[in-house]
Structure 1
Amino acid sequence: MNPNSSEHLKEKWLSTEPVFQGKIINVQVDTVELPDGSVGKREIVKHPGAVAVLAVHEGKLLLVDQYRQALGRCELEIPAGKLEKGEDPMEAAKRELEEETGFKCGSIRLLHSFYTSPGFADEIIHLYAAEDLKEGAVSPDEDEFLEIYKVTLEEARQYITEGRISDAKTLLAVYLWQFGAASADQS
């Protein structure tokens, strides 16, 4: 089968029932007609999208350690945050990098955009590489408590092995850094 001709798999939208409207996400149940003509339900999380930043300064990856209630523990992650309504992803990436790490970047470029869980959510993350970094003051959101880490590639690999780094965006960033998709040193 040719993945470019998958029209026969398409589901026809019939209706949407809003279930929850939150500060960050909304949840809805869509009723769809399946390819065989039967009817199905799809639970969908609507999310405004997010940005994440691969930033390497003097050969070390910038990470933030932050408590994640959904996991019940702290997680080491690259700087990231949700998009505000109408916000340009590149500007959001610069903002998140500076708020969470204090670093400003001279240039920034999109590495890749990806969906986190397309089976039930429309969240897309735009992953950027920040370059020409200059250190400044950290200014996290008022409900954001974090510590900044600067780690080598070897340390990042060890944190992955230990499970301290386990979220998709940070795993992807480390692998892109490891395989040279981003500059080895963006100081």
Structure 2
Amino acid sequence: MADKMSTYSPLDAKVTSVEPMKPGDSKWITLKKITYKDPSGKQRLWESAERMTRSKNSEVDAVGVVAVLNDPKSSKGPSLLLQKQFRPAVDKVTIEVPSGLIDEGEDPATAALRELKEETGYIATIPGDAKAAEGFLMFNDPGFCNTNTKMIFVEVDMSDSRNQEGNRKPELEDSEYIECFTVPLDNMWNELAQLEEQGFAIDARVGTLAQGMEMARKWKEVFTKSPA
């Protein structure tokens, strides 16, 4: 797998054609026409896309992994693990967090640790003292589809030899071409702004995280003020 990643880059990909999909041809999603009544009682129609991949006994489609790398030898402080991956739907390479679908019988936390190892090779732990280690059940685009995600916060100990360069062993699928990189948490906004200027698409989860951090920085006194 290392050979594949050293030979190919997500930037090498491109869309070569686009055409309508016939009903019944889809393996991952389906389109539905929804009839509903609005608050006034008037009957209306809505067009929606739905995933066909959700596990039978789960309410969650997928997880996103907020992986913070802690390196005691680094003077730059903790950094966030991000990925570059080509997404045909937008015909761009996007900046994303590691993510993936939940397997049958998995809980979100287990899925997050598995996806992180498969896509990046990193071994992580979920901090027990983090209030938001497992986030809300978030609906990605409720005006368009029913897809949802849970964001899972994990820590990667860079002093662990398994996480050292050369020891990590990603287990990518044949169709996955993912480039991993890190950005310092305290400079995340500026790093993403530069990537956007270079033509990369910023995934909503990454952009929202960065914007939230900037808001916390601006209103730090409000957030840290002790309750009366």
Determine which of 140, 145, 150 is the counterpart of 1:126. Answer: 150
Runs of 5+ unmatched residues, structure 1: 1-18, 181-187
* Alpha-carbon distance change, 89 to 124 in structure 1, aligned in 2, over 3 angstroms: same
Show the counterpart of 2:43.
39
Which deviates more from structure 2 when the two are superposed, residues 138-147 or residues 164-173? 164-173
> Once the 2 structures are TM-superposed, how far is the Cα of residue 54 of structure 1 from its aligned partner?
0.7
Identify, as 1 or 2, the structure richer in helix.
2
Give the length in aligned residue pairs.
162
The answer to whether the 8 A contact 1:20-1:27 is kept is: no
Show the counterpart of 1:56.
68
Runs of 5+ unmatched residues, structure 2: 1-22, 55-60, 72-77, 128-132, 218-228
* Alpha-carbon distance change, 23 to 81 in structure 1, aligned in 2, over 3 angstroms: same
Taking the aligned partners of 1:161 and 1:147, their CA distance within structure 2 comes to: 19
Counterpart residue identity of residue 54, structure 1: V
Determine which of 106, 109, 132 is the counterpart of 1:87. Answer: 106
Taking the aligned partners of 1:27 and 1:85, their CA distance within structure 2 comes to: 23
Determine which of 23, 27, 30 is the counterpart of 1:23. Answer: 27
Name the SS for the 1:104 alignment partner. Answer: coil
**What are the residue-to-residue correspondences of 1:153-168 with 2, within 5 Å?**
153=185, 156-162=188-194, 163=196, 164=200, 166-168=202-204
Taking the aligned partners of 1:22 and 1:87, their CA distance within structure 2 comes to: 25
The answer to whether the 8 A contact 2:37-2:43 is kept is: yes
* Alpha-carbon distance change, 173 to 102 in structure 1, aligned in 2, over 3 angstroms: farther
The answer to whether the 8 A contact 1:54-1:173 is kept is: no
Name the SS for the 2:202 alignment partner. Answer: coil
Taking the aligned partners of 1:159 and 1:24, their CA distance within structure 2 comes to: 33
Name the SS for the 1:120 alignment partner. Answer: coil
Determine which of 203, 206, 219 is the counterpart of 1:170. Answer: 206
* Alpha-carbon distance change, 170 to 56 in structure 1, aligned in 2, over 3 angstroms: same
Taking the aligned partners of 1:73 and 1:40, their CA distance within structure 2 comes to: 35
The answer to whether the 8 A contact 2:83-2:98 is kept is: yes
Counterpart residue identity of residue 160, structure 1: L
Name the SS for the 1:170 alignment partner. Answer: helix
The answer to whether the 8 A contact 1:165-1:171 is kept is: no
**RMSD of aligned Cα (Å):** 2.4
Name the SS for the 2:125 alignment partner. Answer: strand
Matched-pair identity in %: 27
Taking the aligned partners of 2:39 and 2:135, their CA distance within structure 1 comes to: 35
Name the SS for the 2:170 alignment partner. Answer: coil
Matched, 1:152 2:184: yes
TM-score between both structures, scaled by the size of structure 1: 0.75
The answer to whether the 8 A contact 2:183-2:191 is kept is: no
Determine which of 114, 119, 135 is the counterpart of 2:138. Answer: 114
